[in-house]
Amino acid sequence: MFRVQVVPRASRSEVVGEHNGALRVRLAAPPVDGAANDELRRLLAKTFNVPRSSIQLVSGQGSRTKQIRIVGVNEDLLKMLHTFLETKLEAVSTTSR
């Protein structure tokens, strides 16, 4: 399980790095009628190459900070997630210098 910090109504949907210990995600969808939550699940499923049904929103349905669980995760996916987060953090730290 991991935390996600969501920025709704962005110009495009993308994972942008880390913010206060959470994965920071920009979403083009507005936070209306669950549209941003649906877009978050779609984006994370695409990013981590898992079915959308594997992405569970544990808490934070009406909040910008959410708890996410990816069910059916194997060790390879965990390594990929770790590598992905490290890469994003390195990219953010080098651009902020």
For the chain, the structural domain boundaries read 2-95
Does 2-95 carry CATH code 1.10.20.60?
A: no
Distance CA 4, CA 18 (A): 9
HEC secondary structure over 3-67: EEEEECCCCCCEEEEEECCEEEEECCCCCCCCHHHHHHHHHHHHHHCCCHHHEEEEECCCCCEEE
Report pLDDT for 95. Answer: 61
Residues of the chain short of pLDDT 70, as ranges, are: 88-97
Distance CA 47, CA 84 (A): 9
Give, as one character, the DSSP assignment of residue 97: -
Report pLDDT for 39. Answer: 98
